[in-house]
Structure 1
C-alpha cells in the first residue's frame, strides 16, 4: 500500500483500510468519518424506494469502481493494515460523486 501512496494527494497521508468481505481499499480520514452518513443515506434511499438496495458507490485510483453494500451481513471495517490482502487501490471518490454518469 505504501507504493500506492506515492502518486496520491497529500490529504491521503494517513490512510486507513476499508475492508468489505475479502476486498480492501485505502480511504482518507475524511472518507472514514463520512462513512456513517453515507451508509445512513443509502439505507434511507432503499427504504424510500429510490434505490433497490442500500449501497455506497466508490471509485479507486486503480480503476476499480462499484457499490459497497450497507448491511449487517457484510460489515465494513476500518483498520490500520500496511499490507492488506486483495487491495484494489486508494479511494478517490466515495458516495454519490463516485456513481457512474448516466
Structure 2
C-alpha cells in the first residue's frame, strides 16, 4: 500500500512541483514551495486564538525517499534554499520550513 501513496506523491509533485537540484545532486527532482504558510505554536491551529505566536513561512514539500533533513539545501529557479525545520512527515513526503540563502 505504501507504494501506491509513493506513486501518488510523485504524480502530485510532477504536477505542482518545479524542478530542483536537491543536496547538490546533478539530477533534478520536483519540489513544491508554498509561500506564506501560517505555522502556529504549541496547540496547533487553535493556538492562534489562545495568544500563541503564529508566523508565516515558506514551506517546501520533498519526497521522503530523498531523505531530506534540516540544513539540506536545494536550488530551484536559480535560488538556493535551506531546509530549516520539519513541519510534517507523512512517511511519503516531508514538509520543511525553508529560508532562501
**Structure 1 and Structure 2 fold alike (TM over 0.5):** no
Task: Compute the TM-score of the two structures, normalised by the length of structure 2.
Answer: 0.31
From the two aligned structures, give the one with the greater helix fraction: 1
Look at both structures and tell me which one has the larger radius of gyration over its CA atoms: 2
Which one scores higher on RCO, CA 8 angstroms, separation ≥ 6? 1
Task: Compute the TM-score of the two structures, normalised by the length of structure 1.
Answer: 0.31
From the two aligned structures, give the one with the greater strand fraction: 2
